[in-house]
Amino acid sequence: MGESKRAFLAHVQPLSRKLDLVARQYAGTGPDACDLVQETLLRGWRSFSPDDERTYSRAWLFVIMRNIAYEWRRVAGRRIRLVPLPESELTDVEAFEPGAPLVPLAPMNEQQFREFLDDRILGALDDIEPSFREVLLLSVAGDLTYREISRVLDCPLGTVMSRMARARRQLRERLAVYARSVRGVTEVAR
Amino acid sequence: MTCTEVREYLFAFLDNELAAELSNEVQGHLEHCPRCAHDAEAERAIRHHLQSAVNASARAPRQHRLRWPRLVAGLAAVLAVALAVRMVIKPDAGALFDQLVVESGEFLQRQRPINITSADRVIVTDWLRQETKLHLTLPAVEAGPWTLIGGRRCTVAGRPAAFVLYEFDDVPAAFVVVSGDQCDVDGMEPVHRGDDTRWTGRRHGLNVLVCQRDALLLHAVSTLPVARLDDLVRAHN
């Protein structure tokens, strides 16, 4: 095995599962996610130089993956769940009150809460705004730090923190709505 | 620190993203404020379940199971072969080869060289049969220095074809199966083995071996010696 290949594998292997998870979030569980991972690795491999190892952060391949996903989003036939941020993002951020009280969840005991989350968490995730969901997924599926996410999204650290808070709040709001609509949970709450 | 300030920092705190001093302040507040502590506990549970759910989704069946070390090796290898084919074989190498080179160039231009990555011959064969409608079998090389990397559907001269990638001691070799019963073997040397005839040639540093099986034409292309390519084709029988 060549030195370049060995160095590339050493960089990629610890991230393999995370890349797979993030690709599934961008492209679903079908062949598009498989293609997205392969394309990411292919482009990564082409630009990789073992002599330049210090430039390859953990975020590097996620940046490539996201760029490809955006390219594919413009091409018919690819089911990419990325949505560009609205132009009004800055205005939105100003309007956001980070210290506002969190939406209360219906009272449940620990077991009920666990079962409720098991049933509803992915549905709630799908319901939140895509630009906020992406930050959350890069954290949860990609296991990236806020600073790494800011590199992937090419935005300031503060923007990541703001989007993350908004994503979590939206997730909680969706869960609260679900909880109110679930009969069993409502009964428990009485 | 007030409840409002804690809520402002809560998510970054739970993600261990706060500086130590600020984190200690939030922690101190949570130890004395049951309401904020309850919010924090619920958010921890939500994040934990979200992580579990996302991980569980990765265990769901997908069309192709990736084998990472082989995938990366495969990508490297397919690049090597495809680049070599594109750069080395010239258009005058024969109509079929010409088409083969053109199609290989297509792989590169589309930058999607492998559809399925697996060392399992049955899995790759089934997938390629389904995708190309060719009644093909792949060389049985599970035991030995040959390794199956993966495959891709393609077309050669408008005909469905299967592009399969192998490695022999890390040296890549392409095995291309295309429908047809006539080889363009101008300039190639016939090698007779019993009733079977194969044609071999060397094109600008690459060895090529061609043979016919039923209604299929098999091509092996690599920098490997012709004897090695012959091993591959023999393992197809």
Q: Which residues contact A144 (CB under 8 A, 6 or more apart)?
A: A58, A59, A62, A138, A152
Residue B112, in any domain of the structure = yes
Domain identity same for B95 and B212? yes
Note down the domain range covering B110. 68-234
Q: Which of A47, A82, A117 is the last residue of a domain?
A: A82
Same domain, A95 and A50: no
Nearest CA-CA distance, residue A178 and chain B, Å: 14
Q: Are the beta carbons of A41 and B7 separated by less than 8 Å? A: no
Mutate to test the interface with A, among B46, B67, B109, B147 (most CBs of A within 10 A): B46
Q: Is the same domain home to B7 and B104?
A: no
Q: Which of A82, A116, A147 is the last residue of a domain?
A: A82
Residues B45 and B162 in one domain: no
Question: How large is the average pLDDT for residues A109-118?
Answer: 78
Report chain B residues whose CB lies below 8 A from the CB of A33: 62
B209: domain CATH number is 3.30.200.100
Do A91 and A170 fall within a single domain?
yes
A10 or A52, greater pLDDT? A10
**Domain containing A131 — which CATH number?**
1.10.10.10
- Digit-coded pLDDT (tens) for A64-98: 998 888 888 777 556 666 665 554 454 444 456 77
**Do B93 and B47 sit in the same domain of this protein?**
no
Measure B220 CA to nearest chain A CA, in Å: 22
Q: Is the pLDDT of residue A168 over 90?
A: yes
Q: Measured between CB atoms, which of B11, B68, B113 is closest to A16?
A: B68
Kindly list the strands in the beta sheet with B196-203, ordered across the sheet, starting from the edge strand earlier in the chain. B116-117, B146-156, B159-168, B171-179, B216-222, B206-213, B196-203, B189-193
Average pLDDT value for residue range A175-188 = 62
In a domain, B82, yes or no: yes
Residues A151 and A178 both lie in one domain: yes
- Shortest Cα distance from B8 to chain A (angstroms)? 4
Same domain, A137 and A65: no
Give the closest of B51, B63, B71 to A31, CB-based: B63
Q: Indicate if A23 and A116 belong to the same structural domain.
A: no
**What is the ipTM score, two decimals?**
0.78
What string of pLDDT tens digits covers the 237 residues of chain B? 889 889 988 999 999 998 888 899 999 999 999 999 989 988 998 888 888 888 776 554 443 333 344 445 555 554 444 444 433 333 333 445 555 544 544 443 444 456 677 778 888 888 888 888 898 888 887 667 888 877 887 766 667 888 888 878 767 778 888 887 666 666 677 777 777 778 888 765 677 888 888 778 888 887 788 888 888 888 776
> Taking a C-beta distance cutoff of 8 angstroms, is the pair A58, A144 a contact?
yes
Which helix (H) or strand (E) element contains residue A102?
Answer: none
Phi first, then psi: give them for residue A92, nearest 5 degrees: -60, -45
Look over chain A and give the mean of its residue pLDDT values, rounded to a whole number. Answer: 77
Share of chain A above pLDDT 90, in %: 12
Residues A106 and A161 in one domain: yes
Smallest Cα distance from B158 to chain A, Å: 22
Identity of the residue in A25, A42, A105 whose CB atom sits nearest the CB atom of B111: A42
Establish if B221 belongs to a structural domain.
Answer: yes
> In this structure, are A97 and A180 located in the same domain?
yes
Q: Are residues A99 and A109 in the same domain?
A: yes
Is B224 found in the same domain as B147? yes
Tell whether A165 and A126 lie within a shared domain: yes
Q: B39 to chain A: nearest residue by CA?
A: A102
Query: Does residue B62 lie within any of the structural domains?
Result: no
More confident residue, A112 or B90: A112
Residue B66 forms contact with A (CB below 8 Å): yes
Q: Indicate whether A99 and A188 sit together in one domain.
A: yes
Number of domains present in the structure of chain B: 2
Chain A residues within an 8 Å CB radius of B58? 17, 20-21, 24
B154 and B125 both lie in a single domain: yes
User: Please, which residues bridge with residue B161 across strands?
Assistant: B154, B178
Same domain, A91 and A114: yes
Sign of CA dihedral A108, A113, A119, A122: positive
User: Domain tally for chain A?
Assistant: 2
Same domain, B14 and B127: no
Is residue B47 within 8 angstroms of chain A, CB to CB? Answer: yes
- Residues of chain B contacting residue A121, judged by C-beta atoms under 8 Å apart: 46, 49-50, 53
Work out the minimum CA distance from A28 to partner chain B, whole angstroms.
Answer: 10
Position A169 scores a pLDDT of 92
Upper half-sphere CA count for residue A170 (Cβ side, 13 Å) = 22
Distances (CA, A) of A1 to A44, B74, B187, B221: 18, 12, 34, 20
What CATH number is associated with residue A39?
A: 1.10.1740
Domain that holds residue A190: 84-190
Residue B27 has what pLDDT? 92
Same domain for B85 and B48?
no
pLDDT tens string A92-111: 444 567 778 888 777 777 77
Which residue, of B12, B34, B57, is where some domain finishes?
B57
DSSP string spanning chain B?
--HHHHHHHHHHHHTT-S-HHHHHHHHHHHHH-HHHHHHHHHHHHHHHHHHHHHHHHTTS--SS---HHHHHHHHHHHHHHHHHHHHHS-GGG-HHHHHHHHHHHHHHHHT---SEE-S-HHHHHHHHHHHH---------SSSSEEEEEEEEEEETTEEEEEEEEEETTEEEEEEEEE-S----TT-EEEEETTEEEEEEEETTEEEEEEEETTEEEEEEESS-HHHHHHHHHTT-
B166 and B111 fall within a common domain? yes
pLDDT of residue A149: 92
Quote the DSSP letter at residue A80: -
Domain-ending residue, one of A34, A66, A82 = A82
Would you call A46 and B79 a contact, using CB atoms and an 8 Å cutoff?
Answer: yes
> Nearest CB to A34: which of B51, B64, B111?
B64
CB atoms within 10 A of CB A88: 10
Residue B221 touches partner A, C-beta closer than 8 Å: no
Contacts of B79 in chain A (CB under 8 A): 42, 45-46
